[in-house]
Amino acid sequence: MVRTYGLLAWTWMRAAAQHPVSMSLITVGVIVSTGLDLAAIAIIFARTRELAGFSVAEVMFLYGTAGTSFAVADILIGTVEGLGDHIKHGSLDAILVRPVSPLIQLATEEFSPRRIGKLVPPVTVLALVLPRLHLAWTLGRIVMVPVMLLSGAVIFGALWVLTASLQFLITDSREAMNAVTYGGGTLTPYPLTVFGKDFVRGLTFMIPLAFVNWEPALYILGHPDPLGLPAAVRFASPAVAAVLCLLAARAWRSGLRHYRSTGS
């Protein structure tokens, strides 16, 4: 499966490389647009030294971890959100008859180096801010950083597949489903304490975006949990990611089983 994904992605990348100037300009545009969130954070800290009890370095840490996880998921599987368009245009039928997983075909569709541009701002920020966090870097904190990045990427990826699967039932739901994926990518770079407790509960127990970086970051940064949850919850991101993957796989298979061809 990994080999097939790599081959299809490489094929699309070779096609994109035939227009190097266009590809380079689009990549730069992606980097700039992705980094606009940094401008918003800079504006906030131009007026204050803390945001909901978090320093500028700590907020940048949240931005770097959330942005990296979101970008990895978007790069690897974000294009599955186009499933509804394939259903409407009848092109999903052609995808289904090919001897390759339809999920892999959708995930690699129009794969281009420009996607990697989404990683540049958050990875750069994370690399710069980690040495500036005034923390006692214990083994647990060091290990938690890659764990939260990987778990966060898996959580976002599973949410992409879950929301895409709903398009088997509601074809024109792409924009509404983006509220979960892209909306989550907009929320998670900020301390969730800026929102009301009921909203934080929703992001913890309903749409578990709090496990992308918030709960593990509370452990790393040494902040109390605003909901007063047990300390073990801060280590639950891998388990949440695994459960979401199972739900996403089941939803995807169910959608494929119940799909009826357009006949085109």
Beta bridge partners of 50: 55
Judge whether 92 and 256 are in contact, CB under 8 Å: no
Task: Enumerate residues 6+ apart whose C-beta is below 8 A from 47.
Answer: none
Task: Enumerate residues 6+ apart whose C-beta is below 8 A from 20.
Answer: none
Residue 122's nearest CA partner among 221, 198, 188 is: 188
83-103: average pLDDT: 88
- Does 110 fall in a domain? yes
- Does 264 fall in a domain? no
State how many domains the chain has.
1
Judge whether 116 and 90 are in contact, CB under 8 Å: no
- Structure confidence at residue 65 (pLDDT): 96
6-25: average pLDDT: 76
Residue 248's SS3 state is helix
Judge whether 111 and 195 are in contact, CB under 8 Å: no
- Does 263 fall in a domain? no
224-247: average pLDDT: 95
- Does 154 fall in a domain? yes
- Does 200 fall in a domain? yes
pLDDT greater at residue 35 or residue 104: 104
Alpha carbon separation from 153 to 39, 212, 245 (Å, rounded): 24, 8, 11
- Does 113 fall in a domain? yes
Q: Which domain holds residue 147?
A: 2-258
- Does 21 fall in a domain? yes
Assess whether pLDDT exceeds 60 at residue 264: no
CA diameter of the chain:
62
The pTM for the full model equals 0.92
- Structure confidence at residue 97 (pLDDT): 87
What distance in Å separates the CA atoms of residue 65 and residue 208, rounded to the nearest whole number?
16
